[in-house]
Amino acid sequence: MNTPNKITVFRMFIAPLFLVIYFLDIKYKMLISALIFAVGAITDAIDGKLARKNNIVTNFGKFLDPIADKMLVTAGFLALMQDGLCNIWIVMLMLTREFAVTSVRLIAAAQGVVIPANIGGKIKTVLQMVSLIGIMVIGEANSIFSLGWNMPVISNILLGITAVVSVVSGLVYIMDSRKVIDFKS
Protein backbone atom coordinates (compact mmCIF):
# COMPACT_ATOMS: atom_id res chain seq x y z
CA MET A 1 0.00 0.00 0.00
CA ASN A 2 1.42 3.39 -0.97
CA THR A 3 1.73 6.35 1.41
CA PRO A 4 -1.31 8.31 0.14
CA ASN A 5 -3.51 5.23 0.63
CA LYS A 6 -2.10 4.73 4.14
CA ILE A 7 -3.01 8.34 4.93
CA THR A 8 -6.52 7.72 3.61
CA VAL A 9 -6.88 4.63 5.81
CA PHE A 10 -5.65 6.70 8.77
CA ARG A 11 -8.47 9.20 8.08
CA MET A 12 -10.94 6.33 8.37
CA PHE A 13 -9.76 5.80 11.96
CA ILE A 14 -10.04 9.51 12.74
CA ALA A 15 -13.84 9.43 12.29
CA PRO A 16 -14.63 7.10 15.22
CA LEU A 17 -11.93 8.77 17.36
CA PHE A 18 -13.62 12.11 16.67
CA LEU A 19 -16.98 10.72 17.80
CA VAL A 20 -15.54 9.19 20.97
CA ILE A 21 -13.98 12.52 21.98
CA TYR A 22 -17.07 14.50 20.97
CA PHE A 23 -19.33 12.40 23.18
CA LEU A 24 -17.07 12.48 26.24
CA ASP A 25 -18.15 14.78 29.01
CA ILE A 26 -14.95 16.83 29.07
CA LYS A 27 -14.06 20.48 29.13
CA TYR A 28 -13.51 22.01 25.67
CA LYS A 29 -14.87 18.89 23.96
CA MET A 30 -15.97 20.83 20.88
CA LEU A 31 -12.59 22.49 20.47
CA ILE A 32 -10.71 19.21 20.93
CA SER A 33 -13.13 17.49 18.57
CA ALA A 34 -12.67 20.28 16.01
CA LEU A 35 -8.90 19.80 16.16
CA ILE A 36 -9.21 16.05 15.64
CA PHE A 37 -11.66 16.64 12.79
CA ALA A 38 -9.24 19.19 11.28
CA VAL A 39 -6.45 16.59 11.32
CA GLY A 40 -8.73 14.30 9.34
CA ALA A 41 -9.61 17.11 6.93
CA ILE A 42 -5.95 17.97 6.39
CA THR A 43 -5.13 14.35 5.58
CA ASP A 44 -7.68 14.58 2.77
CA ALA A 45 -5.63 17.31 1.12
CA ILE A 46 -2.31 15.61 1.80
CA ASP A 47 -3.12 12.16 0.40
CA GLY A 48 -4.41 13.51 -2.90
CA LYS A 49 -1.49 15.89 -3.41
CA LEU A 50 1.03 13.16 -2.63
CA ALA A 51 -0.63 10.70 -5.00
CA ARG A 52 -0.70 13.20 -7.88
CA LYS A 53 2.78 14.60 -7.20
CA ASN A 54 4.38 11.14 -7.10
CA ASN A 55 2.19 9.77 -9.90
CA ILE A 56 0.83 6.99 -7.69
CA VAL A 57 -2.91 7.55 -8.13
CA THR A 58 -4.57 4.14 -7.78
CA ASN A 59 -8.09 2.82 -8.27
CA PHE A 60 -7.94 1.75 -4.62
CA GLY A 61 -7.30 5.36 -3.64
CA LYS A 62 -9.98 6.69 -5.98
CA PHE A 63 -12.53 4.46 -4.25
CA LEU A 64 -11.25 4.65 -0.68
CA ASP A 65 -10.66 8.42 -0.47
CA PRO A 66 -14.34 9.36 -0.91
CA ILE A 67 -15.35 6.67 1.59
CA ALA A 68 -12.93 8.06 4.18
CA ASP A 69 -14.31 11.55 3.53
CA LYS A 70 -17.88 10.32 3.95
CA MET A 71 -17.01 8.57 7.21
CA LEU A 72 -15.46 11.71 8.67
CA VAL A 73 -18.16 14.11 7.49
CA THR A 74 -20.99 11.77 8.51
CA ALA A 75 -19.43 11.50 11.98
CA GLY A 76 -19.47 15.30 12.15
CA PHE A 77 -23.13 15.52 11.11
CA LEU A 78 -24.15 12.83 13.58
CA ALA A 79 -22.33 14.54 16.43
CA LEU A 80 -23.97 17.89 15.68
CA MET A 81 -27.36 16.26 15.19
CA GLN A 82 -27.05 14.63 18.62
CA ASP A 83 -26.53 18.10 20.13
CA GLY A 84 -29.43 19.66 18.20
CA LEU A 85 -27.07 21.57 15.92
CA CYS A 86 -27.98 19.82 12.68
CA ASN A 87 -31.47 19.28 11.35
CA ILE A 88 -32.23 15.69 10.38
CA TRP A 89 -33.36 16.83 6.90
CA ILE A 90 -29.90 18.25 6.21
CA VAL A 91 -28.39 14.89 7.10
CA MET A 92 -30.98 13.14 4.93
CA LEU A 93 -30.14 15.35 1.92
CA MET A 94 -26.42 14.79 2.41
CA LEU A 95 -26.74 11.02 2.78
CA THR A 96 -29.13 10.72 -0.17
CA ARG A 97 -26.61 12.59 -2.32
CA GLU A 98 -23.81 10.33 -1.15
CA PHE A 99 -25.79 7.14 -1.75
CA ALA A 100 -26.77 8.32 -5.24
CA VAL A 101 -23.19 9.17 -6.22
CA THR A 102 -21.86 5.95 -4.70
CA SER A 103 -24.48 3.97 -6.62
CA VAL A 104 -23.33 5.59 -9.86
CA ARG A 105 -19.72 4.71 -8.96
CA LEU A 106 -20.70 1.09 -8.36
CA ILE A 107 -22.54 0.89 -11.69
CA ALA A 108 -19.48 2.36 -13.38
CA ALA A 109 -17.15 -0.08 -11.60
CA ALA A 110 -19.30 -3.00 -12.74
CA GLN A 111 -18.74 -1.74 -16.28
CA GLY A 112 -14.99 -1.40 -15.75
CA VAL A 113 -15.07 2.39 -15.46
CA VAL A 114 -13.65 4.37 -12.53
CA ILE A 115 -15.15 7.82 -12.14
CA PRO A 116 -13.08 9.96 -9.78
CA ALA A 117 -14.51 12.85 -7.81
CA ASN A 118 -15.05 16.00 -9.85
CA ILE A 119 -14.35 19.59 -8.81
CA GLY A 120 -17.92 19.97 -7.49
CA GLY A 121 -17.45 16.99 -5.21
CA LYS A 122 -14.16 18.37 -3.96
CA ILE A 123 -15.71 21.78 -3.26
CA LYS A 124 -18.59 20.03 -1.48
CA THR A 125 -16.19 18.09 0.74
CA VAL A 126 -14.11 21.15 1.62
CA LEU A 127 -17.26 23.15 2.38
CA GLN A 128 -18.61 20.36 4.58
CA MET A 129 -15.37 20.00 6.51
CA VAL A 130 -14.83 23.75 6.96
CA SER A 131 -18.46 24.22 8.05
CA LEU A 132 -18.28 21.41 10.59
CA ILE A 133 -14.99 22.65 12.05
CA GLY A 134 -16.30 26.22 12.10
CA ILE A 135 -19.50 25.23 13.90
CA MET A 136 -17.56 23.37 16.58
CA VAL A 137 -15.14 26.27 17.09
CA ILE A 138 -17.96 28.84 17.17
CA GLY A 139 -19.93 26.59 19.52
CA GLU A 140 -16.97 26.32 21.89
CA ALA A 141 -16.40 30.09 21.80
CA ASN A 142 -20.12 30.65 22.43
CA SER A 143 -19.90 28.38 25.46
CA ILE A 144 -16.62 29.71 26.88
CA PHE A 145 -17.48 33.39 26.50
CA SER A 146 -21.24 33.04 27.19
CA LEU A 147 -22.03 34.89 23.96
CA GLY A 148 -25.65 33.78 23.86
CA TRP A 149 -25.60 33.03 20.15
CA ASN A 150 -28.34 30.78 18.82
CA MET A 151 -26.10 27.92 17.76
CA PRO A 152 -28.83 25.74 16.20
CA VAL A 153 -29.77 28.60 13.85
CA ILE A 154 -26.15 29.44 12.98
CA SER A 155 -25.29 25.79 12.47
CA ASN A 156 -28.33 24.96 10.37
CA ILE A 157 -27.81 27.97 8.10
CA LEU A 158 -24.19 26.94 7.44
CA LEU A 159 -25.10 23.29 6.96
CA GLY A 160 -28.14 24.19 4.84
CA ILE A 161 -25.88 26.05 2.41
CA THR A 162 -23.57 23.05 2.42
CA ALA A 163 -26.52 20.73 1.70
CA VAL A 164 -27.56 22.79 -1.34
CA VAL A 165 -24.00 22.72 -2.73
CA SER A 166 -23.85 18.97 -2.04
CA VAL A 167 -27.08 18.22 -3.88
CA VAL A 168 -26.10 20.37 -6.87
CA SER A 169 -22.66 18.76 -7.10
CA GLY A 170 -24.28 15.32 -6.91
CA LEU A 171 -26.69 16.12 -9.72
CA VAL A 172 -23.82 17.39 -11.87
CA TYR A 173 -21.83 14.22 -11.14
CA ILE A 174 -24.74 11.99 -12.10
CA MET A 175 -25.42 13.95 -15.29
CA ASP A 176 -21.72 13.83 -16.26
CA SER A 177 -21.59 10.09 -15.56
CA ARG A 178 -24.12 9.46 -18.30
CA LYS A 179 -21.33 10.24 -20.79
CA VAL A 180 -19.13 7.34 -19.66
CA ILE A 181 -21.42 4.57 -18.40
CA ASP A 182 -24.40 2.69 -19.74
CA PHE A 183 -27.41 2.95 -17.42
CA LYS A 184 -29.42 0.53 -19.57
CA SER A 185 -27.43 -2.63 -18.82
Domains and CATH numbers, the chain: 3-177 (1.20.120.1760)
Spatial separation of the C-alpha atoms in residues 146 and 30, rounded to whole Å: 15
Burial class (CB in 10 A: 0-12, 13-18, 19+), 9: middle
Among the listed residues 110, 133, 3, 113, the one whose alpha carbon sits nearest the alpha carbon of residue 55: 3
Spatial separation of the C-alpha atoms in residues 75 and 114, rounded to whole Å: 26
Q: Cα–chain-centroid distance for residue 113? A: 23
Spatial separation of the C-alpha atoms in residues 61 and 51, rounded to whole Å: 9
What length is written for the chain?
A: 185
Spatial separation of the C-alpha atoms in residues 77 and 128, rounded to whole Å: 9
Q: What is the pLDDT of residues 149-159, one digit of tens each?
A: 999 999 999 99
Residue 41: its H or E element: helix 29-53
Q: What is the pLDDT of residues 73-112, one digit of tens each?
A: 999 999 999 999 999 999 999 999 999 998 998 898 889 8
Q: What is the pLDDT of residues 24-70, one digit of tens each?
A: 999 999 999 999 999 999 998 899 899 989 999 888 888 788 889 99
**At 171, which amino acid appears?**
L
